[in-house]
Structure 1
Amino acid sequence: MKTYKFYLMIAVMMMATVAAKAQTSETSFGLKAGLNYASLPSNLSAITDKKGKIGYNLGAFARIGTSLYFQPELNYVTFKSSYNYAAQTYTPKFHQLNLPLMVGYKLINTDALNFRISAGPDLNYTLNKAVGPAGFDYKKLNVGGVINAGVDIGNLTLDARYSRGFTKINKQLQEKTNLFNLSVGLKVF
């Protein structure tokens, strides 16, 4: 629990710093949608035939700053995975609220075209109860990290992202999350 408090404190400090600079910086807001590919890798040898599945995401983002920027997002994310454990197949499905808090840099920064990279902490809260083996519960709150590469063409944004869970989403099964995401967005103002 101390780890969550530490990440939350860092996120609040980052947002406060960026908010103070926002008065002199460029700020834009947008909507996004995309596809995910998720897997739940595990070190447990009793888990076999692991397969990732396709999901989707919908969300909103803010970008605060010019060349160096802060980009918080709030996304609704769905994904599922499949694996065998104790001679049974399980396909847990997840519906999550996702809060990445990224700091980025625009490698190319023009009015018509931007190439961006960013990284930061990634907080996930599971809204549903994912079904797994009896007695093996999936955690509601998970902390991870995200790296992102993107391009802006006018108001259109395209992003490719990798998110990795730092905490075990299922302690008994020793699972963490891997999530690959491709999304398209539109800056609305």
Structure 2
Amino acid sequence: MKTNRFYLMIAVMVMTAGAVKAQDTGLTFGLKAGLNYATLPTSFKEVTDKKGKVGYNLGAFARVGKTLYFQPELNYVTFKSAYNYASNTYKPKFNQLNLPLMVGYKLINTAALNLRVSAGPDLSYTLNKAQGPSGFDYKKFNAGGVINAGVDIGSLTIDARYSRGLTKINKDLNEKTGIFNLSVGFKVF
């Protein structure tokens, strides 16, 4: 059922982008790639030696609007973590489809340079089974929020963002996600 909702959101995003393009309000598509640093913050005292790891992301974005804009993205994201629990070390690895839906504002808006800020909901679906303690399963679907700062220099686009899970990715360990991301991309058109 959750997978169907995810696909429905993607379909709505595509239809919205097509409808806005017809209104000629400024539509840009682009591709991006970058690095992530992820942590799984928890208040569970039995989890010790928590360490974040570096991962990567690949994706596509659309930007609809001129000064005030809507920016949906679809990204493939990998990240890892490591921690100790009950005298064992666990190193869960996550491969996710990520759908941030941001609303932003261009602080500087010229043909050669844009300085942008944006924020919005961030939805993720885990494609693999992450390793955790027996009986402590990681959820497939995670909802959170994202804040983003970016700059466009011609067709080059650079973004720095922080995504924070608002739902617990592992209810038993009381874990949420925290991901810092730096990506570089280019506008296709």
Aligned length: 186
Residue 183 of structure 1 aligns with which residue?
Answer: 183
The residue type equivalent to 1:141 in the other structure is F
Structure 1 residue 25: deviation in Å? 0.5
Gaps of 5+ in 1: none
User: Using a 3 Å threshold, how does the CA distance of structure 1 residues 33 and 11 change in structure 2: closer, same or farther?
Assistant: closer
1:102-151 CA deviation, whole Å, 9 max, x = no partner? 00000000000000000000000000000000000000000000000000
Residue 42 of structure 1 aligns with which residue?
Answer: 42
1:59-80 CA deviation, whole Å, 9 max, x = no partner? 0000000000000000000000
Conservation of the 8 A alpha-carbon contact between 1:79 and 1:93: yes
In 2, distance between residues paired with 1:94 and 1:10?
Answer: 21
Residue 119 of structure 1 aligns with which residue?
Answer: 119
Write the mapping of 1:16-165 to structure 2, written as runs, cut at 5 A.
20-22=19-21, 23-165=23-165
TM-score (norm 2): 0.91
In 2, distance between residues paired with 1:172 and 1:107?
Answer: 42
In 1, distance between residues paired with 2:20 and 2:122?
Answer: 22
In 1, distance between residues paired with 2:8 and 2:135?
Answer: 32
User: Using a 3 Å threshold, how does the CA distance of structure 1 residues 162 and 95 change in structure 2: closer, same or farther?
Assistant: same
User: Using a 3 Å threshold, how does the CA distance of structure 1 residues 68 and 15 change in structure 2: closer, same or farther?
Assistant: farther
User: Using a 3 Å threshold, how does the CA distance of structure 1 residues 115 and 168 change in structure 2: closer, same or farther?
Assistant: same
SS of the equivalent of 1:60 reads strand
Conservation of the 8 A alpha-carbon contact between 2:17 and 2:62: no
1:34-71 CA deviation, whole Å, 9 max, x = no partner? 00000000010000000000000000000000000000
User: Using a 3 Å threshold, how does the CA distance of structure 1 residues 18 and 62 change in structure 2: closer, same or farther?
Assistant: closer
Conservation of the 8 A alpha-carbon contact between 1:18 and 1:70: no
User: Using a 3 Å threshold, how does the CA distance of structure 1 residues 11 and 118 change in structure 2: closer, same or farther?
Assistant: farther
In 2, distance between residues paired with 1:80 and 1:137?
Answer: 15
User: Using a 3 Å threshold, how does the CA distance of structure 1 residues 75 and 9 change in structure 2: closer, same or farther?
Assistant: closer
1:128-179 CA deviation, whole Å, 9 max, x = no partner? 0000000000000000000000000000000000000000000000000000
In 2, distance between residues paired with 1:18 and 1:186?
Answer: 18
The residue type equivalent to 1:164 in the other structure is R
User: Using a 3 Å threshold, how does the CA distance of structure 1 residues 93 and 170 change in structure 2: closer, same or farther?
Assistant: same
In 2, distance between residues paired with 1:114 and 1:156?
Answer: 10
Conservation of the 8 A alpha-carbon contact between 1:11 and 1:101: no
